[in-house]
Chain A
């Protein structure tokens, strides 16, 4: 399996608090890696480190063979990020938000750019009637879809999702999970997904990475469930996780 993202001996400290202590993680081509962990276990810090938004105390990160450095241009053409609250630019319309990366990275004519952006909006399940609205006029779920459309605008190879289903109702969350699976199956995407939603974690991840004790336990759903680490046991032992497991195993049969 080809490794797309490789994190080696990552150390992140904030004052005396050690978040990552020599964390190593490989993300493989075409997988959906679900990342979980308690509050403050450094899920977001890990993602921010990979994206070059956070300066780690030590460790090396390579994405698609390129070494990531803090606030240096990374392989921006090859990755798309769905931030937790969408992070759409509030001064631009939906259409302009999606067109922006295309305009930045290509010199294609306006009509083509426009068409491609509309296409991405349609692909993420949005109707084109939202195209001329501003982000503040959209609901949270729609904002996430627009943000996903923007993340997909440059045909990325890697997609980062920060709690994609947080703040969505169960129906919208399930739809969003389906959308991600659909895009993953059809666009040759490698996806790293931070989530608290056990349903979507067990439902769509190929592998799971659990951040515990400054390190990471990574494996398929079954492998991680076998682990006898107390936090992992309690995480997957709570009733809602149990139900999600049953649902996931029913679904796969």
Chain B
């Protein structure tokens, strides 16, 4: 057996393996194949003669050493000879490392996990953590209410700007488009009954009661829920939050409350814009393509929709805002160690806040129907 890395001489009592060439990282695969061909007969010893070796590194030395160890385990005597000093040190590394490894304590008996138990324990831990976090935040909110600081006012105004004012264009555009879609869809159905004019009722009621606030909230959950989680998460990773604690500032009060307050102020305002834009979108199509005059449209809106509908929609906005801001900030504050976790928590913040918005909306719908509003 001969190749670029070794040639084997078969003597009666031993195999002499001439190691040669470049035993380096890039050749590891070929080297492993090569050493696998060193197969002594029973009773034969193996000696690796490394005189012809041109280059070796840790990876190459490991392959060589590993083979000698494998052979020793099979009860075959091995020796490594003829190393140049410059090459020997690489082998020495491996031998040193192997020695350290042997000193290490053997792993303790593998424990078979009980999956159900682990699952319940995890659930319990998570629930406890959630309750604890919520409690901490609730307490600091209370503290904040008792001892409001000027800083918080400034922060809150900033948050209103970021989460509310800056979101106006996008919210206006999407509700406007939804207004158009609603009218188009409804017109097709209502035409069959000769009641085309009722599209106005439909669009104005559905936008004011449901769609306006819902779309604004979902948009804000995507925009600001993620921003809250990411911003607070990075602050946690940068130890900014710890720095605040040390300075005697309560980060829940400084960071969480302004965001919650800001959003509770911003979302109702956005809802008003959303309602207006949605009805305007409906008007564009109704007046433009369905032969309903502008005056007729306004009359119809005034007749079908009263302020209660508008208030029903608006009353949900602060609740949605509270959900978005609480979930976003809570998830952000839960980031502890890594960038990976930051991404995970941000995703959770958005998904959970949208889920909670829709769940809450369903609850509201049932509640308002029962109350007859």
Contact = CB atoms under 8 A, between A and B. Distances in A.
Contacts of A136: 336-338
Contact of A119 (B32, B62, B104, B337): B62
A112 B337 contact: no
A108 B29 contact: yes
A227 B341 CA distance: 50
Interface string B85-99: 000011011100100
Interface string B26-65: 1011001000000000000000000000000111001100
A118 B100 CA distance: 12
A127 B29 CA distance: 27
B63 to A, nearest CB: 8
B339 A106 contact: no
A129 B62 contact: no
Contacts of B109: none
Interface in A97-146: 106-109, 112, 115-116, 118-120, 122-123, 127-129, 134-137
Question: Could you say which of B25, B32, B66, B92 has the most chain A C-beta atoms within 10 Å of its C-beta?
Answer: B25
A108 B28 contact: yes
A90 B97 contact: no
A90 B93 contact: no
A127 B100 CA distance: 8
B89 A116 contact: no
A128 B58 contact: no
Given A116-B58, A122-B97, A154 B25 contact: yes
Interface residues of B, number: 27
B281 to A, nearest CB: 44
A112 B58 contact: no
Nearest to B107: A129
A39 interface: no
Given A115-B66, A119-B94, A123-B93, A134 B337 contact: yes
B29 A106 contact: yes
Contacts of A186: 89-90, 92-93
Contacts of B28: 106, 108, 112, 116
Contacts of B336: 136
A90 B337 CA distance: 8
B57 A155 contact: yes
B29 A107 contact: yes
B340 A90 contact: yes
Contacts of B341: 90
Task: Indicate the size class of the contact surface on chain A.
Answer: 20 to 34
Contacts of B338: 90-91, 134-136
Nearest to B99: A122
Question: Could you say which of B28, B29, B89 has the most chain A C-beta atoms within 10 Å of its C-beta?
Answer: B28
A253 B59 CA distance: 36
B97 A116 contact: no
Contacts of B90: 186-187
Contacts of B339: 90-91
Contact of A155 (B32, B59, B63, B92): B59
B147 interface: no
Given A134-B338, A155-B59, A128 B104 contact: yes
A116 B62 contact: yes
Contacts of A112: 28, 32, 63
A115 B25 contact: no
Contacts of B104: 127-129
A129 to B, nearest CB: 7
A186 B61 CA distance: 13
B33 to A, nearest CB: 11
B101 interface: yes
Question: Could you say which of B57, B58, B101 has the most chain A C-beta atoms within 10 Å of its C-beta?
Answer: B58
A123 to B, nearest CB: 6
A38 to B, nearest CB: 25
Interface in B305-357: 336-341
B58 A122 contact: no
A112 B64 CA distance: 12
Given A107-B29, A116-B58, A186-B89, A122 B100 contact: yes
B25 A119 contact: no
Contacts of A129: 104
Contacts of B25: 106, 154-155
A243 B58 CA distance: 38
A122 B101 contact: yes
A118 B57 CA distance: 16
Contacts of A115: 62, 66
B24 interface: yes
A135 to B, nearest CB: 7
24 contacts: A90-B341, A106-B25, A106-B26, A106-B28, A106-B29, A107-B29, A108-B32, A109-B32, A112-B28, A115-B66, A118-B101, A119-B58, A119-B93, A119-B97, A122-B97, A122-B100, A128-B104, A134-B337, A137-B337, A154-B25, A155-B24, A155-B57, A155-B59, A187-B57
Given A91-B340, A128-B101, 10 more contacts: A90-B340, A106-B26, A108-B29, A109-B29, A115-B62, A116-B59, A186-B92, A186-B93, A187-B57, A187-B90
Interface of A: 90-91, 106-109, 112, 115-116, 118-120, 122-123, 127-129, 134-137, 154-155, 186-187
The 3 closest A-B pairs by CB, nearest first: A136-B337, A90-B338, A122-B97
